[in-house]
Amino acid sequence: MKNRLVITGMGAVTPCGIGVDNFWQGLISGKSAVGEISRFDASALPVRFAAEVKDFEPTDFMDKKHVREMDLFMQFGYAAATEALRDAGFEEEGKLHGIDPERFGIALGTAYAGMTTIAETQDGLSKGLHSKVSPRFVPKVIGNIAAAQIAIAKGIRGPSMTVTTACSSGGDAIGIGAMLVAAGEADAALCVGAEAAINPLNILGLSSAHALSTRNDAPEKASRPFDKDRDGFVMGEGGGAIVIETEEHAKARGAKIYAVLLSCTNSTDGYHVTSPHPEGIGAIYCMERCIKKAGLTPADVDYINTHGTSTPMGDIIETKAIHTLFGEAVGSLAVSSTKGTTGHMMGAGGVTETIACVKAVTEGIVPPTLNLDTPDPECDLDYVPKEARRKDVRVAMSNAFGFGGQNSSVMVGRYE
């Protein structure tokens, strides 16, 4: 098919590695990236650990002016976008190259946008540390400015869309980018997920909702998707980016093609603001549509990178949804959650976990689910526990589900 969509560039800034290669090696190494919070004093908080991006030097990717102008979530997204553009051959000397700038689009997803800057600024005002607010404040906290900063710096003038669908934001950004290209609104699109919401305010809010693990004595063991002793998720952060275009466009410019973007879907539970539907109806519908849109059957799917956040109910519901949809085909299906390694990267996760699916397809390796020590009788799939596994993966799917009953699924396949 001439009009099928393909992935030609990838970029990642994650707790387990900066750059796609480092990210992938971090995933398959079997080592957790979770540790005590270092960015601020968390000693008085109920949760004192997270999966922070380590050794990130923003001036490796941007000048000091941009560092001052951008919230950390923007910096993560910008860095990932820069890697993806270079990887795709669309950047030269810091500017968009090899494509009409008005035919290049951006879709960016973030759940929290500039929440950390908002919290820090208000804290300073409340404590009397300052009485004025920087003129940079508003452009640092508005979600769409992350995409705008990329566009301004790189010289991109095509359509730009920012989506905030909680933890489905990254997956939905890929879906929007795919729609822009498929509809002929752009010849190629940069799809970005970005998040940096590890701050006291968010930790207190999620803790009061009993969403976070409180395993302060062993942070590296705290994110344990599908394990019987899981007690909540671990906050992560970072950025991910992929470049998509039609196969025809990619081949015409001699681009390398990593994988086919088979389909993207979105649905909502219509049930509750924080709890997923107990029967997983939204997740089932989203996955089912994703498979059908790709012209496949459940038996064609080799690997699912699950949402798998390590929450007591969420992991069970996703497991049951997969059982319901896949039926007997579940026996040959590999399933894992990379959040045991990276924590929950929120809006960035949908993109970085799609990258993990692309790598599973191209490398023939399924990343593991860490800390799966005690099987939960209600979570009985093949979760690839603790160690990466070699497997012939032709088709892989990434799930990302969020508050409000948001669901997104992205499916990639081997390029032939």
Domain ranges of the chain: 1-404
Q: Across 46-88, where does the E strand assignment appear?
A: 49-50
Instruction: Please tell me the predicted confidence (pLDDT) of residue 267.
Output: 97
Written as one letter, the residue type at 201 is: L
Catalytic residue set: 167, 307, 344
The tokens describing 118, both together, are 């908002």
SS3 10: strand
Instruction: Please tell me the predicted confidence (pLDDT) of residue 3.
Output: 85
The tokens describing 223, both together, are 């994110």
Task: State the Cα–Cα distance between residues 254 and 178, nearest whole angstrom.
Answer: 20
Instruction: Please tell me the predicted confidence (pLDDT) of residue 2.
Output: 53
The kind and range of the H/E element at 136 are none
Task: State the Cα–Cα distance between residues 239 and 314, nearest whole angstrom.
Answer: 24
The kind and range of the H/E element at 262 are strand 259-268
Task: State the Cα–Cα distance between residues 314 and 236, nearest whole angstrom.
Answer: 17
Instruction: Please tell me the predicted confidence (pLDDT) of residue 1.
Output: 44
Task: State the Cα–Cα distance between residues 121 and 106, nearest whole angstrom.
Answer: 29
Of 275, 297, 409, which Cα lies nearest the Cα of 353? 409
Residue 243 CB partners (closer than 8 Å, separation 6+)? 7, 8, 9, 10, 84, 85, 87, 88, 90, 188, 189, 190, 191
The tokens describing 43, both together, are 């000693």
The tokens describing 84, both together, are 């993806």
Q: Where does residue 38 rank: exposed (0-12), middle (13-18), buried (19+ CB within 10 A)? A: exposed
SS3 107: strand
Q: What angle do CA 387, 290, 29 make, to 5 degrees?
A: 15
- Judge contact between 295 and 350, C-beta under 8 A: no
Q: Where does residue 86 rank: exposed (0-12), middle (13-18), buried (19+ CB within 10 A)? A: middle
Q: Where does residue 313 rank: exposed (0-12), middle (13-18), buried (19+ CB within 10 A)? A: exposed
The tokens describing 148, both together, are 């705008």
Written as one letter, the residue type at 185 is: E
Of 8, 17, 10, 5, which Cα lies nearest the Cα of 355? 10
Residue 102: half-sphere exposure toward Cβ, Cα within 13 Å: 0
The tokens describing 210, both together, are 């009993």
pLDDT of the chain along its 416 residues, tens only?
458 999 999 999 999 999 999 999 999 999 999 999 999 999 999 999 999 999 999 999 999 999 999 999 999 999 999 999 999 999 999 999 999 999 999 999 999 999 999 999 999 999 999 999 999 999 999 999 999 999 999 999 999 999 999 999 999 999 999 999 999 999 999 999 999 999 999 999 999 999 999 999 999 999 999 999 999 999 999 999 999 999 999 999 999 999 999 999 999 999 999 999 999 999 999 999 999 999 999 999 999 999 999 999 999 999 999 999 999 999 999 999 999 999 999 999 999 999 999 999 999 999 999 999 999 999 999 999 999 999 999 999 999 999 999 999 999 999 99
CATH number of 1-404: 3.40.47.10
Name the pTM for this structure.
0.97
Of 330, 328, 329, 109, which Cα lies nearest the Cα of 319? 330
Q: What angle do CA 108, 113, 118 make, to 5 degrees?
A: 160
